[in-house]
Chains A and B, each alone.
Chain A
Amino acid sequence: MKVELQNLTKIFPSRSKKQGEEVVAVNNFTFAIPDGKLVGLLGPSGCGKSTTLYMISGLQKPSSGKIFFGDEDVTDLAPESRGIGLVFQNYALYPHMTVKQNIMFPLQNLKGEDRLPKEVMIERAYEAAKLVQIDELMDRKPSELSGGQQQRVAIARALVKMPRVLLLDEPLSNLDARLRLQTREEIRRIQKETGITTVFVTHDQEEAMSISDIIVVMKLGVVQQIGKPQEVYDDPKNLFVAKFLGTPPINVFEGKVSGGKLYLGEDAVLDVPGVSDRAVYVGIRPEAFIPMSDGPLQCEISNVEVMGRDVSVVSKHVASINPFVRSIVDADNKISVSDEFVRFYLKPHKVFLFDKETEQRLYFGNQKPASIEEM
């Protein structure tokens, strides 16, 4: 099912009349989620990603804008009539029911013609449970399950009525690190197997990038960029997106462009044809650094962290906004702390320029904006 959001806006009124102003949680969100894709809504807390999800679910009414499922306008439809499955952040499993009762609950709510015979209900419940691999635990209570198992029950409960759209609110935030890795693969697998259009919300960029077909990066209610994870990483539209994606995070410098060359401090480090002279923010991905004895960028080494395959060189540079510049280089380069200084060449396609005022991307050389049209 294709999900289309048109100029979706949510404004929360101010708490008290005397003070505080209204909060624009989601501002003019327009996007069509293609059928059968896994979409990650990504952003720091308070960016409106959960509000967007709840508006798709129908639990919150948009202040303006429209939501379509396929060709059907569902904007004013009650949550139960939308045909969605929602997995809550804390799972919201009914604690007094067994796993089986929890999964069957949505089916038992169906009335009239939609109501299934009891055997079919049980069969469907077991099917959903098998899909998330909890069919062994059907007679347990939620309190007797681990966090990961509860998560699966919640997904099974959302899937059992065969929803048109599956919505997941921070699905991995309550799991420990190991389980998180495992569960995100699981979500990916279930989504692939069922082919249900799925939207999930997360503040963890790694999580979003690793399993999404498309990620939507949001900040303060405004969509910053929409695209395939790799495209958004390789081609951020503004400084916020560049800083938000990637571990370790991107290195940001203050620089200036003069005569087609990029200056960091006193050093001209890169040719940037096509950008007029101005002050810029420079984002350099950690993997953009190539150590070379005659490289144009000189940094003062503070530490070298060995990671086996790679080493992480922590160094200082006057133009850097962060206290340290972190670069990831091949371990073969044999850089050591005793070297005191290290010189780098920069890979041009891993270096992003942003206007100092607007923080919007400035493209140079053969960099060009990506489009999401061909998806």
Chain B
Amino acid sequence: MAEVLKKIKFEKWKGWLYLSPAIILLLIFTVWPIFNTIRMAFLEDFNTLQASRGAVFEIGFKNFEKVIGYKDFLTCLGNTMILCVLTVPLSTILALVIAVCLNSIKFLSRFIQTIFFLPYVTNSIAIGMVFAAMFNIVGSFLGTDNQIVQTWGIVNEVLRAFGMEPINWINSGSDYWANIWVMVIYIVWNALPFKILILLGGLQSVNKQYYEAAKIDGTSRIRTFTRITVPLLSPMIAYVVITGFIGGFKEYSSIVGIFGDGMGPAGEKGKLNTMVGYIYDSLSLHQGRASAAALILFGIIFIVTMINLYVSKKKTHY
């Protein structure tokens, strides 16, 4: 009897033993930082330098008040919101259309799917630099005879070919909305592969007989798409939208990719800064405010995701 009890006791602990590597790593690198962030956010004017000297901080909401009161923070929040609202629907709709098209292609389908997936495996900073070159208003270099040769970025080159005025997309003195559109195009392009992958997978798992039944009933292509494909794909669409919003609120590296870590065109530092960018900026001196901003970002993502889940629960068919 004692033997059996001992065995049961061991069996009970064996599970925890097997999980321990993962649990220990999670505790150190996830749970503790989260706890620490919350702690720092509520210690007024916390910074690590003073903390190391043994300063004592009062508990309160001062960090939050300061963060919200900053004009910079509101710019960051606005930029993030605008990018999210523009890129998530656009990339989802485009990905859906492309996925449906890809799914109907028979010839070289695997090869074409691979090409569409390439941006996903390419470094986003590298892509950003290529985009920056494409949208550049002017590039200049020394020609062979030491004269200065001026070139346009390819986008403006194309605009000129159609007889339109070149637009100052990203250079110094450029318009805010020009900047935003460059970002939107870049972010959408970057976000497409993953969404296409998910939606294409969903499409391929849809029972072909639904389409045969629709065909026999004389359903038009558009109606088949809106009344059958989209509802049947709705769980995947919901997933793509939710992860899209979460990713959108964490937008940072794409801005760096195009504008560099100044987060704006030359001479306008921080013009296109985002929430994550703000957190990074505050991190060196005001860890308390950075933590507060991180918690605010968490709160926003949480609320938006809840809204998303609520809407998708009503609209999705599982």
- To the question of whether A and B form a pair in one complex, the answer is yes
Chain A interface residues toward B at CB < 8 A: 57-59, 78-81, 84-86, 88, 90, 92, 94-96, 105-106, 109-111, 157, 161
The one of B207, B218, B227, B234 that contacts A110, using a Cβ cutoff of 8 Å: B218
Residues in B whose Cβ lies below 8 Å from that of A105: 217, 219, 227
The one of B207, B213, B223, B231 that contacts A86, using a Cβ cutoff of 8 Å: B213
Residues in A whose Cβ lies below 8 Å from that of B220: 109, 111
B212:A106 contact, CB within 8 angstroms: no
Q: Chain B: which residue is nearest A95 at the CB level?
A: B317
Residues in A whose Cβ lies below 8 Å from that of B213: 86, 88, 92, 94
Q: Chain A: which residue is nearest B208 at the CB level?
A: A92
Q: Is B197 an interface residue (CB 8 A)?
A: no
Residues in B whose Cβ lies below 8 Å from that of A86: 212-213, 216
Instruction: Show 21 A/B contacts (Cβ-Cβ < 8 Å), sorted by A.
Output: A57-B216, A58-B216, A59-B212, A79-B215, A79-B216, A80-B216, A80-B218, A80-B219, A84-B216, A85-B216, A90-B209, A94-B210, A94-B213, A94-B227, A95-B232, A96-B232, A96-B317, A105-B217, A109-B223, A110-B218, A161-B217
Q: Chain B: which residue is nearest A163 at the CB level?
A: B216
CA–CA, A111 to B210, complex, Å? 21
B219:A88 contact, CB within 8 angstroms: no
A-B residue pair count with CB separations less than 8 angstroms: 54
A88:B218 contact, CB within 8 angstroms: no
Shortest CB distance A128–B (Å)? 13
CA–CA, A80 to B219, complex, Å? 8
A80:B215 contact, CB within 8 angstroms: yes
Shortest CB distance B227–A (Å)? 8
CA–CA, A94 to B217, complex, Å? 13
Residues in B whose Cβ lies below 8 Å from that of A84: 216
Q: Chain A: which residue is nearest B210 at the CB level?
A: A92
Contact with A along B219-261 (1 / 0, CB 8 A): 1100100011001101000000000000000000000000000
A92:B218 contact, CB within 8 angstroms: no
A92:B212 contact, CB within 8 angstroms: yes
Q: Chain A: which residue is nearest B220 at the CB level?
A: A109
Residues in B whose Cβ lies below 8 Å from that of A157: 217
A96:B217 contact, CB within 8 angstroms: no
A96:B215 contact, CB within 8 angstroms: no
A88:B232 contact, CB within 8 angstroms: no
A84-B216, A106-B218, A109-B223 are contacts. A94–B209 as well, Cβ < 8 Å?
no
Shortest CB distance A181–B (Å)? 26
Residues in A whose Cβ lies below 8 Å from that of B212: 59, 86, 88, 92
CA–CA, A84 to B228, complex, Å? 21
B219:A109 contact, CB within 8 angstroms: yes
Residues in B whose Cβ lies below 8 Å from that of A58: 216
The one of A59, A88, A94, A110 that contacts B228, using a Cβ cutoff of 8 Å: A94
Residue of B210, B218, B223 contacting most chain A CB atoms (<10 Å)? B218
Residues in B whose Cβ lies below 8 Å from that of A94: 210, 213, 227-228, 231
Shortest CB distance A107–B (Å)? 9
